[in-house]
Structure formats: C-alpha cells, structure tokens
C-alpha cells in the first residue's frame, strides 16, 4: 500500500477519509483482500478507509496515481510484485519509478505490499508509516485474515517497513535479472523473448 504525506502525525488522518488505491478491477482477489484489510484497519483505528479501484496497464495506472498524489497522507496504494518489480523490468518508460517513488509500509500478504509515497520522511513522518504498519500488522495477525488470504492462495507476511523494502528490492533484482537473462522485451505491444 502507498501513503502520501501528512504533516501532523498526532492528528492523522484528521477526521478525513484515507483512500486505499487498488490498481486492479473490482471483484478480483486483490480487490477482495484490500477491502477486507481496509475494513479491518478502519474498525481497529476508527479511521475512515475508502477503497478505490484504478485498474489498467498491469497496475501501473493505480500506482502512478499514488506516486503523483497530493502529499497529504491520505492516499495509500496496494502494490504487488507485478507493478513494483516485473513491470519496471519490462517497460523502460514507466510512469513512475518503483524504486524511488514509494516507501513500503508492510508486506500485507504474498505478493501484496502496502507502500507510501516516497516523500517520507520529510513529508510523511515515520510515525504515520509506523502507525499504518502497526494497524496493518494487527489485522494481518488475525486468524480470520490468514484464512481469507489462504483461500486465494496467499499468506500473511507482515514485518517492518524495512523488511517490506528489502522484499521489494529483492523482487526487483530477481525479476530484472530474469527478464534480462531471457532477453524478454516488450516492443510495440508485442512480447519478445
């Protein structure tokens, strides 16, 4: 998930709704997991969490909206290996830089990662990132959550923002190497390899 920045951590989110951007269509596994996790975070924190689907381009449209969002801490994105590691290795002209434009908050499940806009720590205080991490970890630690994700072939992971960052970096390196070694490229809408 991704969060844009918010200056006053004590007042976060200031009674305003937090948007959770799901970069895929409604009704799929990512959407179901995001709605479940978002609802549980809202219940535990008393924050208003609104799910918004922004599908297209393999998740790039939704993640680009997070990367270019107003830095007010009220926009979170649900990234995946596809849009944070594979797409950047395949597409040289991405609308965002997956290595620089986001700060991971938590590994929600395999392969979903909650990330925040990269303005942290200057504009997204660590307290907000850590607060989102704590709220998400609480939800992920519940049997109900692990059971739901298991039905979809996923598992809860959790961890710190640093562990989420390490996971994304490892995935980016792994997929970039595989794509380069196999000489896979996308040219004019066709895949070569």
At CA 37, angle to CA 64 and CA 135, rounded to 5?
Answer: 95
Residues 106-149: pLDDT tens digits?
877 766 776 666 665 445 667 777 888 888 889 888 999 888 88
pLDDT tens-digit series, residues 12-51? 677 888 899 999 999 988 898 889 989 998 888 888 899 9
* pTM beyond 0.95: no
At 106 the three-state DSSP class reads strand
Distance of CA 113 to the CA centre of its chain: 4
The yes/no answer on whether domain 9-192 falls in CATH 3.40.50.980 is no
Rounded to 10°, the helix 143-151/126-140 angle is 80
What letter does residue 23 receive in the DSSP assignment?
A: S
Task: For the chain, give every domain's residue range.
Answer: 9-192
Residues in CB range of 68: below 8 A, 6 or more apart: 96
- Contact between 29 and 85 under an 8 Å Cβ cutoff? The reply is no
């Amino acid at each position: 998930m991704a969060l844009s920045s918010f200056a006053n951590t004590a007042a976060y989110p200031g009674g305003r709704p937090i948007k959770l951007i799901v970069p895929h269509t409604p009704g799929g596994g990512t959407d179901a997991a995001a709605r479940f996790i978002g609802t549980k975070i809202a219940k535990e924190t008393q924050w208003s969490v609104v799910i918004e689907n922004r599908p297209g381009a393999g998740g790039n449209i939704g993640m680009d909206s997070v990367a270019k969002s107003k830095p007010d801490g009220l926009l979170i994105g649900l990234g995946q290996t596809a849009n944070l590691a594979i797409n950047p290795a395949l597409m040289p002209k991405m609308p965002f830089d997956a290595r620089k434009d986001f700060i991971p908050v938590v590994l929600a499940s395999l392969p979903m990662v909650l990330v925040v806009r990269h303005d942290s720590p200057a504009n997204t205080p660590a307290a907000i990132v850590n607060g989102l991490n704590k709220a998400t970890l609480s939800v992920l630690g519940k049997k109900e959550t692990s059971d739901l994700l298991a039905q979809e072939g996923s598992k809860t992971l959790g961890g710190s923002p640093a562990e989420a960052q390490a996971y994304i970096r490892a995935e980016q390196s792994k997929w970039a190497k595989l794509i380069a070694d196999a000489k896979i490229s996308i040219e004019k809408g066709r895949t070569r390899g």
